[in-house]
Chain A
């Protein structure tokens, strides 16, 4: 190495040192830094290959310039841990040999974490417990979701259906029909109950003749052809729907067969009698 170059290196290192020693604080962990125009003796140098993935210091040669028999380098580097690092330790000749005539080029890195600060947990994969944590919660959520789905699909539907049927089956058609028939035969049936009478008569005959599953239109046709139900329903139609035919229908005679059938059945329950007392005037 020529004397001039050594003087230059020392001057640069001195300036670096003085620069570091001055008020400029050393860089902090992770921050990249550059040093330019560093003259190092001998043939061209290169950065040693990085063999450790977790190496705390990384050096890169940005540019190389010939400098007489020596070379000038622009370096860029960063450290992942605080401390002092010698750049020369990270250099080798292009043929892979380690140079022994390089000066020390010391750089310092400091941490911005306060004293006693606990380092963050490493981001490496950790083994999840077989049952617990995320897996446990995912399993619980799945079970709850499936249970909720089944509850939506099945729970409460049958009771609701049964409740509806129970509500409809509280009284037999005969129990409902008896007070209406009696009031109609005495011609004391209020006008607003006439529709109820007609519907109840149809329901009674439907149950009496076991025609429960027929659609209403077909049911009506079947009942009209029945020797007992037919004349009664047609007579009711005349009385209830034909204009001005009210006096022409003998209700007492018309509705007698149905009351005879009702009387042949068991007597009505108390529940069925009380709400219709007003019809028995």
Chain B
């Protein structure tokens, strides 16, 4: 077989893979839409994290269907799902697991914690003590945990979706910047629109009750979750491979470098983004392009994801805070400003 024929075959296989993946993504979104109204952006961000092996931090008040969303996603892709409610008295062993003395054999056996799953919902991560946060974040980074003298690899894929309430700050331990940097995306959840909220209410009103033994309980959205997955682990791997086939132009990389550099030079920021932010931008933009049905990334991907990727990686200085600025304001001004200040890779400014 000639080189051109091989290339053609590979191209056809990639095209098929791309189409199948896109169909798989549509099935996931449809399945989640059966129980969660709206939140398309959050679903997209979770898919991005799932396909790129990143982790997501969701900031939002309670009651925005975060658990339902993650549960629906786990069931639709046939992934294991665990949820940990973080509290101030939580211990690292409560997450990772511990060694337990078996009274029969008089020997220690390992009890694996809830971290041994594919999708982990770390609810209100900022309520736990720093040592617990760091235990989780270490596992996120290393993809393995040590219990006693033994090291265990975490299942693949392993995705942590952490949540924190941005309003209530008493009794919380704010995640330090170095740990926030581990999250590929930090998405700020918003309330549903009035139309979406009306739909939520009407759906909830139709749920009815569920008989249990001699009594009955009111059904919840969790009861209507379909348990049959819309795809297999193979589909997920194919999607992850398809992300790697998405083309990233040098021009796009230049855009990323320029915006990341601008955050480091802006005098309203204490510090800008690390190189990890640039890597996360490229990764997530590729996944978004796949979800949007494109074979290549475009600036729209950058604009859509910049806030989620960069906002938790920058910190305003006191002067900017005194001016009443927010991180969003500064980031948007930076992104708008890069078009005004034309600079090539050689750094010369027109």
Chain A residues within CB distance 8 Å of chain B = 153, 157, 160, 164, 167-169, 171, 173, 176, 179-180, 190-196, 198-200, 202-203, 206, 212, 215-217, 219-221, 237, 240-243, 272, 275-276
- Does B298 lie within 8 Å of A241, measured CB to CB? yes
Contacts of A169 in B (CB 8 A): 340
Which residue of A190, A193, A199 is within 8 Å of B338 (Cβ)? A199
Q: Which of B310-350 contact A (CB under 8 A)?
A: 319, 322-323, 332, 335-346, 348-350
Contact A216/B336 with A195-B258, A276-B350 known, Cβ cut-off 8 Å: yes
Q: Which secondary structure characterizes the binding site on chain A?
A: helix
Q: Which of A153, A179, A237, A272 lies at the interface centre, i.e. has the most chain B CB atoms within 10 A of its CB?
A: A237
User: Closest CB of chain A to B117's CB: distance in Å?
Assistant: 33
- Does A241 lie within 8 Å of B251, measured CB to CB? yes
State in angstroms the CA–CA spacing of A219 and B335 once bound together.
Answer: 11
- Does B346 lie within 8 Å of A192, measured CB to CB? yes
Contact A216/B249 with A168-B341, A169-B340, A190-B344 known, Cβ cut-off 8 Å: no
B138 at interface (Cβ–Cβ under 8 A)? no
State in angstroms the CA–CA spacing of A194 and B340 once bound together.
Answer: 14
Q: Which of B263-319 contact A (CB under 8 A)?
A: 267, 295-300, 303-304, 306, 319
- Does A243 lie within 8 Å of B295, measured CB to CB? yes
Contact A220/B300 with A168-B337, A169-B340, A180-B342 known, Cβ cut-off 8 Å: yes
State in angstroms the CA–CA spacing of A276 and B319 once bound together.
Answer: 36
A-B contact pairs, 26 of them (CB 8 A): A164-B267, A168-B340, A168-B341, A179-B350, A190-B344, A191-B251, A192-B254, A192-B346, A194-B250, A194-B251, A195-B254, A195-B255, A199-B338, A200-B339, A203-B339, A206-B336, A206-B339, A216-B332, A216-B335, A216-B336, A217-B304, A241-B249, A242-B249, A242-B295, A243-B296, A276-B350
State in angstroms the CA–CA spacing of A13 and B299 once bound together.
Answer: 113
Contact A160/B254 with A168-B341, A196-B343, A243-B247 known, Cβ cut-off 8 Å: no
Contacts of B250 in A (CB 8 A): 191, 194
- Does B247 lie within 8 Å of A241, measured CB to CB? yes
- The residue in chain A whose Cβ has the minimal distance to the Cβ of B289 is A241
Contacts of A237 in B (CB 8 A): 298-299
User: Closest CB of chain B to A39's CB: distance in Å?
Assistant: 79
State in angstroms the CA–CA spacing of A153 and B319 once bound together.
Answer: 8
User: Closest CB of chain B to A13's CB: distance in Å?
Assistant: 81
User: Closest CB of chain A to B67's CB: distance in Å?
Assistant: 28
State in angstroms the CA–CA spacing of A46 and B344 once bound together.
Answer: 104
State in angstroms the CA–CA spacing of A219 and B295 once bound together.
Answer: 23
State in angstroms the CA–CA spacing of A176 and B345 once bound together.
Answer: 16
User: Closest CB of chain B to A195's CB: distance in Å?
Assistant: 3
- The residue in chain B whose Cβ has the minimal distance to the Cβ of A215 is B332
Contacts of B258 in A (CB 8 A): 195, 199
Type the 1/0 row for B234-266, where 1 means its CB is closer than 8 Å to any CB of A.
000000000000010111101100100000000
Contacts of B345 in A (CB 8 A): 192
User: Closest CB of chain A to B52's CB: distance in Å?
Assistant: 19
Nearest 9 Cβ contacts at the A-B interface = A203-B339, A195-B254, A217-B303, A199-B339, A192-B345, A243-B247, A216-B303, A196-B342, A240-B251
Contacts of B337 in A (CB 8 A): 168
Contacts of B304 in A (CB 8 A): 217
- Does A173 lie within 8 Å of B344, measured CB to CB? no
- Does A203 lie within 8 Å of B344, measured CB to CB? no
- Does A199 lie within 8 Å of B350, measured CB to CB? no
User: Closest CB of chain A to B294's CB: distance in Å?
Assistant: 9
- Does A173 lie within 8 Å of B267, measured CB to CB? no
Q: Which of B249, B250, B343 lies at the interface centre, i.e. has the most chain A CB atoms within 10 A of its CB?
A: B249
User: Closest CB of chain B to A204's CB: distance in Å?
Assistant: 8
User: Closest CB of chain B to A153's CB: distance in Å?
Assistant: 7
- Does B346 lie within 8 Å of A242, measured CB to CB? no
- Does A173 lie within 8 Å of B340, measured CB to CB? yes
- Does A220 lie within 8 Å of B299, measured CB to CB? yes
- The residue in chain A whose Cβ has the minimal distance to the Cβ of B323 is A157
User: Closest CB of chain B to A135's CB: distance in Å?
Assistant: 33
State in angstroms the CA–CA spacing of A220 and B336 once bound together.
Answer: 11
Contacts of B336 in A (CB 8 A): 203, 206, 212, 216, 219
State in angstroms the CA–CA spacing of A194 and B349 once bound together.
Answer: 14
Contacts of A276 in B (CB 8 A): 350
Contacts of A194 in B (CB 8 A): 250-251, 254
Q: Which of B249, B323, B350 lies at the interface centre, i.e. has the most chain A CB atoms within 10 A of its CB?
A: B350
Contacts of B295 in A (CB 8 A): 242-243
- The residue in chain A whose Cβ has the minimal distance to the Cβ of B344 is A192
State in angstroms the CA–CA spacing of A29 and B38 once bound together.
Answer: 93
- The residue in chain B whose Cβ has the minimal distance to the Cβ of A194 is B251
